[in-house]
Amino acid sequence: MELAIIVAVVVVALVFDYTNGFHDAANAIATSISTRALTPRVALVMAAVMNFVGGFLGQKVAKTVSDTITPPTGSAGLVVVMAGLVGAIAWNLVTWWFGLPSSSSHALIGGLAGAALAAGAVVNWDTVVDKVLIPMLLSPLVAFGLGFAAMVVIMWLFRRAHPSRAQRGFRMAQTVSAAAMALGHGLQDAQKTMGVIFLALLTGNYVSSDDPLPTWVVVAAATAISLGTLSGGWRIMRTLGRRIIHLDPARGFAAESVAASVLYTTAYAFEAPISTTHTITSAVMGVGATKRLSAVRWGVARSILVAWVLTFPMAAGAAAASYALLHPLLGR
C-alpha cells in the first residue's frame, strides 16, 4: 500500500511539473514572441530544450523545498505531500484559465504548508520565511529596479544609434536572453518538483536526508517541465507579452537579461525557490516604466498583484481540503 502511494505521489508531482511548464512557458518566451524576435513554434522548442538542460544545473533549490515541512513517516506523511501537490495544481489551473501569471513556486510551498497544517504536521517556518516569503517580497522589487536601470543604461549607450538598426540588433540578441531566461526557469522550477519527490522518498524511508537526488528524479522532473513548456501557455503569454506593456526588442532584451540574472543569483547564492513569474513580470514593468509610468497598464498589473497575494493562502486552502478528502482513504 505504501509503495503504491509513493508511486502515486511521484506521478502527481510530475503532473504538477507539467502544469508548471505550460503555466510558466510565457515567462521565458512571451517577450520574445511579442517583439517578433522569435516565432511561437521556435520559441517553444527553444524554451523546452533549455528548461530540460536547466534541470541538471543544481540541487540547492530542491533541498530547500524538501525542507519546508516535516511530515510524519509512512502513509500518513505521503498523503500530506500528495495533498500539497493537489492544492498547487488546482491553483495553477485556476490562474491559467484566467490568464494570470501567478507563481507556481509559491503555489507549491503554500500547498505543502496548508496540507501540513491540516494534518498537524510540522511546517519549518524558518525555512519558509527566510527562503520563500522574504525572497517573494524582495525579488519583484529588485527585478523592477534592475529592469528600469538596465533600460536607462541601454538608452544612453545607444542614444546615437539608428533606431531601426539598433532594434534589429536587439531582436537578434533576444534569442540569447530568452534562452538564458528559459535555462533559469529550468534551474529554478524543475528543482522544486525534484524536492517534492525527494520529500516523498524521505517520508517513505527510501532515502536519507543526506543522500543526493537520485538520477531518475532529476531526469523525470526535467522531462516533465520540458514537455509542459512545449505544450505552451498562450493565455498567460498574451498577458505577459502585450497586456502589461507593448514591448520593443530593446526592452524585451533588458527584461529577459535582468530576470535571468536574478534567477541564477537566487538559486546559487541564496538557495531560494523564487518565482520566475514574479521576476519576469516585474522586470517587464521596470523596463516599461522608462517610457513613462503611464505606459504600463497598471490595471492589469493590479490584477496580477492580487493573484500573487492570493496564491499562498488559496493553494494552502485547496491543499487542506484535499488532505481532508484523501486522508480517510489513504492515510491509515
Q: What is the pLDDT of residues 280-292, one digit of tens each?
A: 888 988 998 888 7
User: Are residues 188 and 51 in contact, defined by beta-carbon separation less than 8 angstroms?
Assistant: no
Q: Is residue 267 part of a domain?
A: yes
Give the span between the Cα atoms of 56 and 39, in whole angstroms. 27
What burial letters (b/e) apply to 18-40, b meaning 16+ CB within 10 Å? bbbbbbbbbbbbbbbbbbebbee
- pLDDT at residue 86 is higher than 90: yes
Q: Is residue 230 part of a domain?
A: yes
DSSP 163-183: HHHHHHHHHHHHHHHHHHHHH
Give the span between the Cα atoms of 327 and 332, in whole angstroms. 7
Q: Is residue 332 part of a domain?
A: no
User: Are residues 300 and 244 in contact, defined by beta-carbon separation less than 8 angstroms?
Assistant: yes
Q: Is residue 331 part of a domain?
A: no
**Is residue 24 within a helix (H) or strand (E), and if so which, with residue range?**
helix 2-34
Q: Return the pLDDT at 275.
A: 84
Least confident range of 24-33, 73-82, 226-235, 275-284: 24-33
Q: CB 210: neighbour CB atoms within 10 A?
A: 5
Q: Is residue 188 part of a domain?
A: yes
Q: Return the pLDDT at 243.
A: 53
Read off the pLDDT of residues 131-183 as tens digits, 9 standing for 90 and up. 988 988 888 889 999 999 999 999 999 999 998 899 899 999 998 998 998 89
Q: Per the structure block, which three cell numbers stand in for 283? A: 522586470
Strand locations in 69-138 (E): 69-70, 122-123
- Give the total number of structural domains in the chain: 1
User: Which pLDDT band holds residue 314 (cuts at 50, 70, 90)?
Assistant: very high
Give me the residue label for grid cell 517610457: 291
Most confident of 21-30, 221-230, 231-240: 221-230
Range of the domain at 48: 2-326
287 against 241, higher pLDDT:
287
User: Which pLDDT band holds residue 121 (cuts at 50, 70, 90)?
Assistant: very high
User: Given CA atoms 284, 286, 290, 296 in this order, what sign does their dihedral have?
Assistant: positive
What are phi and psi for residue 123, nearest 5 degrees?
A: -100, 125
Residue whose C-alpha is closest to residue 60's, from 187, 181, 179: 187
Give the span between the Cα atoms of 277 and 108, in whole angstroms. 14
